[in-house]
Amino acid sequence: MARLAPSFGHLVFILSLLQVSVVCQTPDNVNSLLTNLFANYNNKIRPVNDQSLPIVLDVSMFLFSVNAVDEVNEKLVTTGFLGLTWTDDLLQWDPTLQNEIFIIFLPQKDIWKPDLVLKNGFKKLTEMGGDFYFLSISNFGDVYWYPYEVFETRCSIDITYFPYDKQTCNVTFIVWSYSADEVIITKSSGGIDFYEYEENSVWTIVSTDSDIKKDSYESEITFTITLQRKPRYYVMNMILPVVCLGLLSLLVFIVPADAGEKMSYSVTVFLAFAVFLTIISAELPVNSESTSILSFYLVLQLMIGALVLIISSIQLRLHYRKSSRGMSKFFVAIVRIDQFLRCVKRYRLCCKKDVTTVENFDKNEEEQSTELEAAIEWSDVTNAIDFLCFWFLLLVNVGLTMFLFLYITGS
């Protein structure tokens, strides 16, 4: 079998081993280098040879996870770290004179570093990193600092289209003490980089961006995160049960008034709907600046349920009236509309249900109206109310539901 040629990575590894075997730095070599570098070093002075020139600070952000989005407090909690890079002119050396030492590691408190702070945070301004953080410094003076933080930032929340809402949050960093003439921020990436990112169970990241603001007074960088809420949980556990309860409340108009169960059924469905609303109210985001369309939908469904309860009460009152004499023209009109719609539905010229018939089409309208009013009973009125209210409220309910989904999903 032919032997495989070594890859480029293998060659680099072999050469590095040869280099290590030839050149070996001792603690005395590193100690000597640090003694020379810090002989006249002061971490309170900007490390630039020409103090009239600014230090160029490259800022990147690496995101681990989106921990939480608090709608009530309008707070975004994320976990990640910053990648800060700048050049320290006072920490440069020639590796050939220092036994081939190309890089050293020092605690962050030992050298100068920019006072970069979180501008739109919830807590007081604190120093990035900590005493246990080490910075890497190359022989060219390039300093690399990666402070890890849990960022709690303010974020304006708009819940109008909940649970299909998108939220745009900013994470802003600013050099607090130095002006833009002393420390200027740049960026090497167009947005936020992901480092071993863990997906959030409620929110997914749609896009990221970064922007730099520069003026004569301050220099700051803003990282923008656009989040999309995952709606499946809220649709399955909130919207669909409400839609089903709304349709169940309309079935009261199918229950005959003589059955004696119309009122009890209506009250039972209304109470079930009210109890369910109290349960899901805890799941709705609280925000006084914007109101969710879903909240309006729930209120409308509750009002429809109350309207169904009122109509059912009036129906039972009318159904058990004994005499139909002196019936108002309003109830007569309801029966006429019911008969007309039934005729249209059945493709007939005219129809009735044990009420009246039109035997002679040559009769004038007054005679037909008089015969109709004389034959109408209160049971016919309640049947007409059942028919009209069921189809009317069904169309209203379906229309509201379709509007809700089309409006909030099309946002």
Give the pLDDT of the chain (411 residues) as one tens digit per residue: 333 344 434 434 333 433 443 456 788 888 888 888 888 899 899 999 998 899 999 999 999 999 999 888 889 999 999 999 999 999 999 998 888 899 999 998 999 999 899 999 888 888 888 888 899 999 999 999 999 999 999 999 888 888 899 999 999 999 988 888 899 999 887 778 888 899 999 999 999 999 998 776 788 999 999 999 999 988 888 888 888 888 988 988 888 877 778 888 888 888 888 888 888 777 777 776 677 888 888 888 888 988 998 888 888 877 777 665 556 666 667 667 766 666 655 544 444 444 444 444 444 445 545 555 556 676 677 778 888 888 899 999 999 889 888 888 875
Residues 157 and 262 in one domain: no
Any domain includes 341: no
Residues 202 and 270 in one domain: no
Residue where a domain stops, chosen among 230, 249, 274: 230
Alpha carbon distance 217, 173 (integer Å): 15
Residues 320 and 382 in one domain: yes
Any domain includes 348: no
Q: How many other CB atoms sit within 10 Å of the CB of residue 166? A: 14
Alpha carbon distance 313, 173 (integer Å): 63
What is the pLDDT, as a whole number, of residue 298?
86
pTM of the model: 0.76
The CATH number for 385's domain is 1.20.58
Rg (CA), the chain: 38
What is the pLDDT, as a whole number, of residue 354?
43
Any domain includes 104: yes
Residue where a domain stops, chosen among 174, 199, 230: 230
Query: What sign has the CA pseudo-torsion 394, 397, 398, 400?
Result: positive
Residues 211 and 167 in one domain: yes
The CATH number for 203's domain is 2.70.170.10
Residues 222 and 291 in one domain: no
Any domain includes 139: yes
What is the pLDDT, as a whole number, of residue 374?
52
| Count of H-run helices and E-run strands, the chain | 9, 12
Alpha carbon distance 182, 371 (integer Å): 98
What is the pLDDT, as a whole number, of residue 113?
92
Residues 278 and 222 in one domain: no
Structural domain of 298:
233-324+377-409
The CA-atom distances, in angstroms, between 290 and each of 1, 45, 150, 228 are: 73, 49, 28, 17
What is the pLDDT, as a whole number, of residue 65?
94
Alpha carbon distance 195, 186 (integer Å): 21
What is the pLDDT, as a whole number, of residue 139?
93
Residues 178 and 258 in one domain: no
Any domain includes 198: yes
Query: What sign has the CA pseudo-torsion 288, 293, 295, 301?
Result: positive
User: Which tokens is 225 given?
Assistant: 């995160």
Residues 208 and 285 in one domain: no
Residues 31 and 145 in one domain: yes
Residues 210 and 318 in one domain: no
Number of folded domains that form the chain: 2
Residue where a domain stops, chosen among 196, 230, 264: 230
What is the pLDDT, as a whole number, of residue 46?
92
What is the pLDDT, as a whole number, of residue 216?
67
Any domain includes 387: yes
